[in-house]
Amino acid sequence: MKPAQEKALRALARNRSRPELKALFALIRQQDDRTLLAIAAPAKKRTAAKRKGDPLVRELEQTLKPLMGPAQEKADLLIEHIAKKHRRKLAFQPKGLAEATRQLRTKFSDDQISAGAKSLMSHLAKLYGDRETVV
């Protein structure tokens, strides 16, 4: 046995009497590694990763998902639609939905922005969302 292994064994035996150690060795011999590890070193309980980012941005991304195109175009459409809906002049030129949300929040509430995205999608669906039909 190597010195490091002897040291590990002595750490295990610390404060235990000889009969206790004999019972422990017998127990270890009877069980497999998986059982022993599950008891001696249980895996840490995985907690769900906390989602990063703005929930409103995530919601807008999901709402505008059926729309094909880069995020910048989606953001432009959203701003144009909200401006028209609320009869406001908005000179925002965001690079994406996160920046659009930040800029829109300076003038509108989260509910208004969210409702604007939904209303944009229903407006676009009327214009471009028809399906092929047969007569």
Interacting residues with other proteins (CB under 8 A): 66-70, 72-73, 76-77, 80, 93, 124-133
* C-beta of 111 vs 130, nearer to other proteins: 130
| C-beta closer to other proteins: residue 21 or 69 | 69
Cβ distance to other proteins smaller for residue 27 or 129 = 129
Closest distance to other proteins from the beta carbon of 57 (Å): 19
Minimum CB separation from other proteins for residue 127, in Å? Answer: 6
Q: What is the C-alpha separation between 110 and 31, in angstroms, rounded? A: 58
Spatial contact of 16 and 24, defined as CB atoms under 8 Å apart? yes
Q: What is the dihedral of CA 76, 78, 83, 86, to 10 degrees?
A: 180
Minimum distance of other proteins from residue 128's CB (angstroms): 4
Q: How many CB atoms lie within 10 A of CB 20?
A: 11
The token duo for 100 is 């659009």
At 35, list the tokens.
Answer: 């059982």
CA atoms within 13 A on the CB side of 28: 9
Nearer to other proteins (CB atom), residue 92 or residue 108: 92
Closest contact distance (angstroms) between CB of 87 and other proteins is 19
Least distance between other proteins and beta carbon 69 (Å)? 4
Sign of CA dihedral 59, 60, 65, 70: negative
Q: Which is nearer to other proteins, 87 or 126 (CB)?
A: 126
